[in-house]
A = this chain, B = another copy of it.
């Protein structure tokens, strides 16, 4: 990585540091301007504009300390510095090969005017597509160990924007999005999964659209040693205030200088695709801490998983209840005959993966404890090393290796994190001994330590520590029910994906996901990082698997849209989530899943509007192949997409997996058609998307 720091910027920094500024301080890049000022009460504030339009009106900055006095009253400016950075770096894997990190930085040194005279820095980075800022607590005699009782950061929005939001729940983000004006935000009617914050508190990433044509996204970057930030909406003033997820004691964060908060991010653009193309959050994260990354492999996988969701199989081996982990002789439990993770069934998945060139097989329910794993706030649920009697770990290790397929480990914690932490070393040794190099973790249920929340500081530290432990052991990880990501996959590229949102699985359980759901996720959840959404469900009507238990249940997309999701929902880890027998019936459509890449040299956001449609084209890593996905909400749409990103002069075969005429997510979801056309960089592709539909296109060079 190179740091193009100009001499002029250095000189400017030196000058500002010496001066005692009295007026506002500013930083700007292209159309984005940032202003820092003390307000009439002497409190620090900031504001942001885009092309002279106000994005954030003057808004308070500040941190309250349990040990008072904190940084929430009058502060004075002790100095400031600016610097310019323009560098380019290469992610280990990602949507593009090169990422430009170009910003102007303004550091404001603040000080309590009275004793004890504690110091706080606010650092702003102004990019062409928004602003990031964070609080830094320098090493100082008067502030060593301290407790954040509240964060005063505000985002004062100038008008009653349209917002795409989910309710503030300290323990879950698995919600459908509500689209409303800020003045209408009210989470009360929503059935909350675990722990509701105030009725006007919503989660980030929060996507906003203004009436004067701006798109604004508020989130955070590099969430380390701090709780997640929610925002509380004032429905009258449209001011958002940071709402940190509390610890078991009610305090927000226990810190020690030198320390800093995560970056608060405001991504802004005058068009929606630019939001999706933003690398601001990733740029605000630290470079990879992993030196040798050769063992990290983006991949596609199948799994013993969806068959449990559609009630064809069970995670649990027996139907016993009230089990105790210690002292239970699992071999004496009566099998229920529906256990999915049995050796023969896993071999069937290994065979399928090998036959179709998928890298790996996830197996859930392999280990003892699933009989009453959830909902009891129980500490000792799983031990992570004891297979059920019908899961032959040695034989499957041998069988998978012979077929060149990897098995993906599964560590469901049931939210009992103390139990997982004390067993994690042993669990990772077990993995390495048995040939596993990737793990899906899960945190369903209430957290133990009791009183802590999924999104609080303690759990944030757990997730990050787990990513680090895994990296040390050269293990890739995919975390479910974790805090939503903030770009830390730059720092820990073995952290391939998270769930941390409402995934495809809800289509099997509940009223499902609205057809618009996948057009909002890229603007919200995915701003922080890849999601293990588990696309690729072909058997849309779930009744066909088990009519009695799946009555009326179906996936809320067309089959073609499921294919498109492999492109529109970026992840280096993509599941082919349906059952092998579902794919065997549609091998022509399955060809797209076999073909589509999971790592990319380039990405073009061709068209996008949150809640309506998303069309994206991506160039497969190290090749001249492109893959295109286009999806729509419940409205049928036609998408006219220029292929001008193709290499000029090169002819390509485009294989188009589209909704067939008459397709409809509810009435006729599995009607698809596949056609091939020759295209080049001058071609325009016109795709007809059915209601709740989509299209997937592979574009491969014609060999000369």
Contacts and interface: CB of A to CB of B under 8 A. Distances in A.
A675 to B, nearest CB: 56
Contacts of A321: 144
Copies per assembly: 2
Contacts of A422: 421-422, 424-425
Interface in A18-57: none
Contacts of A251: 450
Interface in A301-352: 321-322, 324
Given A256-B322, A421-B421, A422-B421, A249 B376 contact: no
A376 B418 contact: no
A426 B422 CA distance: 11
Interface in A248-277: 248-249, 251, 254, 256-257
A452 interface: yes
A144 B450 CA distance: 19
Interface string A341-377: 0000000000000000000000000000000100011
Contacts of A324: 256
A199 interface: no
A321 B139 CA distance: 11
Given A249-B451, A451-B248, A256 B145 contact: no
A: contact size bracket: 20 to 34
A652 interface: no
From A422, A424, A426, A452, name the one whose CB has the most chain B CB atoms within 10 angstroms: A422
Nearest to A449: B449
Contacts of A377: 145, 254
Given A144-B322, A421-B422, A256 B376 contact: yes
A324 B259 CA distance: 11
A247 interface: yes
A162 interface: no
Nearest to A451: B248
A135 interface: no
Contact of A249 (B144, B256, B450): B450
A378 interface: yes
From A139, A251, A451, name the one whose CB has the most chain B CB atoms within 10 angstroms: A451
A401 B352 CA distance: 59
A452 B461 CA distance: 18
A425 B427 CA distance: 12
Contacts of A421: 418, 421-422
A538 interface: no
A458 interface: yes
Interface in A435-469: 449-452, 458, 461
18 contacts: A139-B322, A144-B321, A145-B322, A247-B450, A248-B248, A248-B450, A248-B451, A251-B450, A254-B377, A256-B322, A256-B376, A256-B378, A418-B421, A421-B421, A421-B422, A425-B426, A449-B449, A449-B451
Given A254-B377, A254-B378, A450-B458, 10 more contacts: A139-B322, A145-B377, A248-B248, A248-B449, A249-B450, A254-B379, A256-B378, A421-B422, A425-B426, A451-B451
